[in-house]
Amino acid sequence: MFTNFFYALKDNGIPVSIKEYLTLMEAMDAGCANFSVDDFYYLSRATFVKDEGNLDKFDRVFGKIFEGVEFIGDDVTEIPKEWLEKLAELYLSKEEMDEIKSLGSWDEIMETLKKRLEEQEKRHQGGNKMIGTAGRSPFGAYGYNPEGVRIGQDEGRHGRALKVWDKREYKNLDDSVELGTRNIKIALRKLRQFAREGEATELDLDGTIHATAHQGYLDIKMVPERHNAVKLLLFFDVGGSMDPHIKICEELFSAARSEFKHLEFFYFHNCLYDRVWKDNRRRHNDHMSTMDVLHTYPHDYKVIFVGDASMSPYEITYPGGSVEHWNEESGEVWMNRVSNIYSRAVWLNPIPDEHWQYSQSIQIMKTLMQDKMYPLSLSGIDGAMRELRR
């Protein structure tokens, strides 16, 4: 019974175990679900999902597996094609989508979309930068707004009642989506955890008294001292498409600033070259040499790059590839220098990781970082921090 449901959950990355499956069977046996699909949905959700981050995934799997269980007539709302949704997300702002949604007509949506596409065509810049230009690349299509509005089968245009799991109310709790103001607090907590790692110990007075009374002889207890030992260098990619993400990151790290022993910010554009700067407004005349940075901060610093790594491959591999100035040495050389000095370095990328494989420059950068590239999502930050801690 329901084994395919169980395996579908497992395949979709929800951590379920036999224990929970048996619990569900036991609960069904005890009559907790009352033979209604809604009740069964609630019961199985309470049994299988243990983290609100997985609720949305669960809703999707449930919808897929039990599709048609509560089939009402053949008047089923047509689900628009995937690619169309994604295109709509790419070209329309949230406000526009809401507006269109209230109009409720697909023809109008298509019309607007067409107009958008034409407009976009005119501004097309060429090159293989992939983002911000024609946006036809597979990863651009989903690119910047993975949690954007879906013109899915909600609203129930035919007046049919919505199924609970189709509402997908927990979408913004999914921890694989990018950071927003909502989950920034949790991300901050993860950073703090990372910052508080210390190996020194101090005397645990209460523990010592208790242990001494218990044993009858002096028994000294030590506990790890809580202090901030982590030193961090941050490199942010600024300019153009990255700015909103950078702002979030800056806020995130400056909020955690007091937790770190040292924290230094630097900016670069697209790829790290011979110069970085600290004040973005005066980037063209007030920059400093990257070599100085590498010489100033010793190798026990940990390094985090934040950037989309999306550019022309030439910008990384060839001297003079920079779009802003003439660089004597290629970005590749500079990235290698950094990873030779700092053994603990990671790259955080706001582009969802499922799209990385389509971008040549991301692949190159990932290889240069020895695969230590993580998406800028809660789970990504978690992974990155774990890597830095090792």
Pick the closer one to other proteins by CB: 13 or 15.
Answer: 15
48 contacts 58 by C-beta, under 8 angstroms:
yes
Q: Does 95 bind other proteins (CB under 8 A)?
A: no
271 is a site residue for other proteins (CB under 8 A)? no
Please report whether residue 169 would count as binding other proteins according to CB under 8 A. yes
Q: CA-to-CA distance for 274 and 326, rounded, in angstroms?
A: 10
**Closest distance of CB 145 from other proteins, Å:** 17
Contact residue for other proteins among 14, 55, 130, 131 (CB under 8 A): 55
Min CB(41)–other proteins separation in Å: 8
Q: Where are the alpha helices (DSSP H) in the chain?
A: 3-11, 18-29, 37-48, 55-65, 82-91, 94-103, 106-123, 138-142, 164-167, 184-195, 205-215, 243-255, 290-296, 314-317, 331-341, 360-368, 378-389
DSSP per-residue letters across 152-177: SS-S-TTSPPPPHHHH-TTGGG-TTS
Site string for other proteins, 16-45 (x = CB under 8 A): -x-xx--x--xx--xxxx----xx--xx-x
Whichever of 158 and 189 has its CB closer to other proteins, that residue is 189
Residue whose CB is less far from other proteins, 210 or 389: 210
Cβ 70 to other proteins, closest distance in Å? Answer: 15
Residues 359 and 133 sit within 8 Å (Cβ to Cβ): no
What is the rounded distance in angstroms from the CA atom of residue 245 to the CA atom of residue 266?
Answer: 15
| Binding-site size, other proteins (CB under 8 A) | 33
Q: What is residue 287's DSSP assignment?
A: E
Q: Please identify, using beta-carbon distances, which residue of 26 and 108 lies nearer to other proteins.
A: 26
Site string for other proteins, 316-355 (x = CB under 8 A): ----------------------------------------
Q: What is the DSSP string of 229-247?
A: --EEEEEEE-SGGGHHHHH
Q: Is residue 173 within the footprint of other proteins (CB under 8 A)?
A: yes
**Angle separating helix axes 378-389 and 184-195, nearest 10 degrees:** 10
Nearer to other proteins, 250 or 264 (CB): 250
- CA 50 to CA 48: how far, in whole Å? 6
Among 9, 49, 90, 100, interactor with other proteins by CB under 8 A: 49
Work out which of 3, 4, 125, 181 binds other proteins, going by CB under 8 A.
181
Q: Which one-letter amino acid corresponds to residue 247?
A: K
Residue closest to 129 by CA, chosen among 356, 360, 363, 365: 360
Contact string (CB under 8 A) for other proteins, positions 98-117, x = contact: --------------------
Which parts of 202-261 interact with other proteins (CB under 8 A)? 209-210, 213-214
Q: Which amino acid is at 183?
A: N
* Of residues 58 and 347, the one with the C-beta less far from other proteins: 58
Contact residues toward other proteins (CB under 8 A) are 15, 17, 19-20, 23, 26-27, 30-33, 38-39, 42-43, 45-47, 49-52, 55, 169-170, 173, 181, 186, 189, 209-210, 213-214
